[in-house]
A and B are shown apart, each in its own frame.
Chain A
Amino acid sequence: MSETPLIETRHLKKFFSTPKGLLHAVDDISLSIFPGQTLGVVGESGCGKSTLGRVMIRLLPATGGEVLYRGENFLAYNGRRMKEMRKKVQIIFQDPYASLNPRMTVSEIIAEPLKVCRICPDKESMQKKIRELMDTVGLAPRLANTYPHELDGGRRQRIGIARALAVSPEFIVCDEPVSALDVSIQAQILNLLMDLQDSYKIAYLFITHDLSVVRHISDEIMVMYLGQCVEKAPSQELFRNPAHPYTEALLSAIPIPSVRPEDKMKNVIRGELSSPINPKPGCRFAARCPYATSACTQQAIPLTEIAPNHMVACTKYQDKGEHHG
């Protein structure tokens, strides 16, 4: 691990104004990712995972806070500098069916970023680059002139990956890249993403709602609830010692593929995500939390370090360890 993180957010906020009030989609998220590392982000739908990913690469303007790339805040960049920046940060979208232009062939789709960023000086080198990219992601060269609708989900997602790789990025936001795919195809794509990370030292922000996938691919995991980070820990630590009641609930809700009695689902969490519009102070999970006390709803709960690199925002742990705003 090098000294400065590749990408870092400080108190990043994104609010949407709605007729009913301010929607806190991303509320004060601070995180850092080092080169070649993966940070997994998990949470239920509507908790702000995707918004976080988009704000981090400036597809959406942030309401407050900073995103630092190698120590420089690029949210303040002007258009020209941002265009340079776009070569460094890329995104793979969730739905391989909707994120590819149906009227472009595979090679045209992959060529698009090369053209926009003027990477290849002539047609010949561009064709060569496209062939290389297709080879890297495991697409047969004969598919170059096919259209996305002719291909299955796994192959389409490979096109999305090739498109993101075209500009040789150092950081890729993977927004649920495998949740639309079948398990056997999912495994192929996950292996591909890990191979690419090994060979190009790319950092990932891996957004998913599937905890078993995130464990497999992440070095560190952040659990989000209604726009806030409730727990952040190295992957193994999080699964071994889940500290926040929400993390516990998420883990126990996963149906385990085993019929042994000890693997039966238990402690199913009640209720649903409350509204992220004008949230009340205090812990946002309190309404569903089996351990909630009156202290939980009185004030904001800061992240507390309970073990090396293991941060939790819960009143249960507030007395122990040192505080981190």
Chain B
Amino acid sequence: MEYRTDDATVYAVNGVSFNVGKGESLGLIGETGAGKTSIALSIMRLLPDRIGVITGGKILLDGTDITAAGESAMCDIRGEKVSMIFQDPMTSLNPVMEVGDQIEEVLLLHRPEMTVEQRRKKTDEILEMIGIPAERKHEYPHQFSGGMKQRIVIAIALACEPMLLLADEPTTALDVTIQAQVLEMMNGLKEKLGTSIVLITHDFGVVAQTCDRVAVIYAGEVVEIGTAYDLFEGEDHHPYTQGLFGSIPNMNVDEERLHPIEGLMPDPTILAKGCSFADRCPYAQEVCFREKPHCREKNGHRVFCRFSKYPEADREEDVEYE
């Protein structure tokens, strides 16, 4: 996936492959500018017109390729099969519409067969499910707190019980206590509705508490993917993952200094010939700058670094969902 501007082409997503099983939650973790949101927008096909272009690869939803689906087909998919929650709950709701109507709108679009009565009943149910009294449905977004607004956004996304929910930093703008409430609710809904979730975040804590599998994204590439257990307890890691762990202040250990990764993300307008992390990697050798690293795999835990201890694996090229 690329962004084409007058000045330069930004290579935002470069050959990302992963799959999400039914009822599974996958965490995408990486820094700002790593391309996490671009991945989600590509799946939703919400990239800016003429600027954002998918240049290769496939997006398979339930076995069907939706990469080339037309706009009207996508309209049916969005909200119905795939939903997205945006980062900032303050700006993703319509300020001049009652929240109840905003939830009903989704039903109106995707469930035209429902009667007015059914829709109202369903809206009340959804509100109760996310812990907001149904009497408050006639209020406007500004009358709710940040945590409640984010819960309403989630309610809108889940109104049609989609197969896949893309959550783009759903709790970053919230306080820890409210974040804990929202995460708990999302976990509960995942179990209740069997929705698959792709959770985009930069917080390892959030990933550990909610995701079954995790993919670490760096400069538009997956550098490591595996189960949450592989990532937090596994024996072998990509140097970037190690670096990220070194940057987190540990709550349980009193350490004098943090060990940040030196340097910054590479310029996304220049496609690296070798490993994209080589510039910042403490173990980088000359060969890393020249050639792309191979995928090394053990029991489904993949590390894209040539110095990984895992045996080499064949790389699958497809992007799949469900």
Contact = CB atoms under 8 A, between A and B. Distances in A.
A269 interface: yes
A76 interface: no
A257 B177 contact: no
Given A182-B32, A183-B247, A190-B249, A255 B257 contact: no
A194 interface: yes
5 contacts: A182-B202, A212-B251, A216-B255, A216-B258, A255-B179
Contact of B175 (A185, A194, A209, A259): A209
Given A182-B32, A184-B244, A256-B208, A191 B257 contact: yes
B250 interface: yes
A209 B251 contact: no
A199 B259 CA distance: 20
Contact of B205 (A182, A191, A254, A260): A254
B248 A194 contact: no
Given A184-B260, A259-B232, A263-B208, A253 B145 contact: no
Interface residues of A, number: 43
Contacts of A256: 205, 208-209, 251
Contact of B178 (A190, A252, A272): A272
B232 to A, nearest CB: 5
Interface string B232-268: 1100000000011111111100110111110010000
A11 interface: no
A257 B208 contact: yes
A257 B247 contact: no
Given A255-B179, A255-B203, A255-B208, A194 B257 contact: yes
Interface string A157-191: 00000000000000000000000001111111011
A215 B260 CA distance: 17
B175 A265 contact: no
B254 to A, nearest CB: 7
A272 B145 contact: yes
A152 interface: yes
B269 interface: no
A268 interface: yes
B208 A183 contact: no
B250 A212 contact: yes
Contacts of B258: 187, 190-191, 216
B296 to A, nearest CB: 22
B224 to A, nearest CB: 15
Interface in B154-213: 175-181, 183-184, 202-210
A272 B251 CA distance: 24
Interface in A28-52: 44-45
B179 A253 contact: yes
A126 interface: no
Nearest to B255: A216
B176 A209 contact: yes
Nearest to A249: B177
Given A255-B208, A268-B180, 12 more contacts: A45-B175, A153-B32, A154-B264, A184-B247, A185-B31, A190-B258, A191-B258, A212-B249, A255-B210, A258-B208, A259-B229, A260-B233
Contacts of A185: 31, 260
A256 B206 CA distance: 8
A185 B246 CA distance: 12
A236 interface: yes
A249 B181 CA distance: 12
A42 to B, nearest CB: 9
Given A184-B31, A184-B243, A255 B183 contact: yes
A255 B205 contact: yes
A236 B244 contact: no
Contact of B180 (A211, A216, A239, A265): A265
A253 B177 contact: yes
B259 A187 contact: yes
A236 B254 contact: yes
B260 A254 contact: no
Nearest to A47: B175
B228 interface: yes
A257 B204 contact: yes
B176 A211 contact: yes
B147 interface: yes
Interface in A245-291: 249-250, 252-260, 263-265, 268-270, 272-273
A211 to B, nearest CB: 7
A213 interface: yes
Contact of B261 (A184, A236, A272): A184
A255 B209 contact: yes
A210 B255 CA distance: 17
Given A187-B259, A250-B176, A257 B248 contact: yes
From A190, A215, A249, A257, residue with most partner B Cβ within 10 Å:
A257
Nearest to A155: B264
Contact of B260 (A152, A187, A250): A187
B35 to A, nearest CB: 14
From A183, A212, A254, A268, residue with most partner B Cβ within 10 Å:
A183
Contacts of B31: 182-185
